């Protein structure tokens, strides 16, 4: 990232009296934001988000959720037999960002656990029973 101009560093330096520090800091923050915005507009500064990490559009999100729901429905209908749902899983993976897939998989596991627990079907492991 490019360095701020020397005048900004001198302006935002230390050695001021405490009662004038707050207005000085507010001025420095405002200057920094303006400077950063100008650098981004000129294409000289790096974007704050990593490349390829832009938020999905509404259509992309809806496609992801639809693929997730179809995959989950297939798992429910085939009593958790993932081999019956390979095509839907690949559609789910191609429609959603990797972090979302990871989150949705964990969420499904949690929801299934919660469902069993509330129905009284959950059996703790033997080591948990002893502790």
pLDDT per residue over 6-52, tens digit each? 554 455 554 545 566 666 555 555 555 565 566 666 665 555 555 56
Instruction: Report the predicted TM-score, pTM, of the whole model to 2 decimal places.
Output: 0.54
Categorise residue 123: left if φ over 0, alpha if ψ from -120 to 50, beta otherwise.
beta
Report H helices in the chain: 6-11, 18-42, 58-77, 86-95, 98-119, 126-130
Q: Average pLDDT, stretch 117-131?
A: 73
Average pLDDT, the chain: 76
Q: How many domains does the chain have?
A: 2
Q: Which of 83, 53, 89 is nearest to 71 (CA)?
A: 89
- Domain annotation covers residue 87: yes
In this structure, the answer to whether residues 63 and 37 fall within a common structural domain is no
- Domain annotation covers residue 126: no
Full residue range of the structural domain in which residue 101 is found: 58-119
In this structure, the answer to whether residues 28 and 68 fall within a common structural domain is no
- Give CA separation, 104 vs 21, 70, 90, 107, in Å: 48, 13, 14, 5
């Amino acid at each position: 990232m490019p360095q701020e101009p020397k005048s900004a560093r001198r302006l935002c330096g230390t050695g001021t009296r405490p009662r004038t520090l707050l207005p000085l800091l507010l001025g420095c923050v405002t200057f920094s934001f303006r400077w950063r915005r100008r650098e981004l507009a000129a294409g000289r500064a790096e974007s704050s988000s990593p490349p390829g990490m832009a938020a999905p559009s509404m259509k992309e999100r809806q496609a992801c959720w639809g693929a997730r729901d179809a995959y989950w429905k297939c798992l429910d209908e085939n009593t958790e037999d993932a081999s019956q749902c390979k095509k839907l899983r690949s559609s789910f993976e191609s429609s959603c960002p990797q972090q979302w897939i990871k989150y949705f998989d964990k969420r499904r596991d949690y929801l299934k656990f919660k469902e069993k627990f509330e129905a009284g079907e959950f059996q703790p492991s033997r080591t948990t029973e002893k502790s």
